[in-house]
Amino acid sequence: MDVIFYFVISMLIATVLCYFIFWTKNGFQREDIEKEIAAMKTVGTDQQKQYEQQVLSYKQKISDFSSLLKKHKFTSNVFSFIERQTMPNIWFKQFSLDGKNATVQLSGEADSMDAFSRQVAALESSDNKKYIKNVGVLNSTLGNMSRIEFSMSITLNQNIFGYLSPDLPGSDVTSQESQPQDQQGQ
């Protein structure tokens, strides 16, 4: 029993001794760091230091705005997306966007049932699965002048509301960047 007692006491003394050794070593390293910081502050002219402060100020402003932009929802992406996906013989009369639930209610007219079914198929295509979760047709009837009147509900993915979405299907941003300069001016 005495051996265990002395062993535990020696371990306690060793632990306390190691603590003080690391504590003093940490103090020496902190002094070295403070010396290096002081030496770095003496490098450069006053004008360079002013430029450095100005750059750091701009960097802080940029990071503040970038965090705001990451949290902001851009509903205009939905309008652009719907515009690009709408077929020429489809007309939308009403558009209702619920950004919180990421749903769009659309009502409109189509030339024929074939045109309407092609529009629904275009929205449900595999290219659009990144932005559209579900397309539901709520109502379609034969309206005036043999046109199909319809209303549909589209459930969107939240990533369509992101800041820059140049990868939206049919996006003009990527196609304009890839064109030569002389063709853009025409």
Residue 171 CA, chain-centre distance (Å), reads: 17
- The total of structural domains in the chain comes to 1
pLDDT band at 141 (very low <50, low <70, confident <90, very high): confident
- Of 42-46, 81-85, 117-121, 177-181, the range with the lowest mean pLDDT is 177-181
Distances (CA, A) of 59 to 44, 53, 55, 163: 20, 10, 6, 20
Domain that holds residue 124: 76-162
pLDDT band at 178 (very low <50, low <70, confident <90, very high): very low
Does residue 155 lie within any of the structural domains?
yes
pTM of the model: 0.52
The CATH number for 153's domain is 3.30.1360.100
Does residue 84 lie within any of the structural domains?
yes
Task: Give the alpha-carbon dihedral of 106, 163, 168, 181, to 10 degrees.
Answer: 130
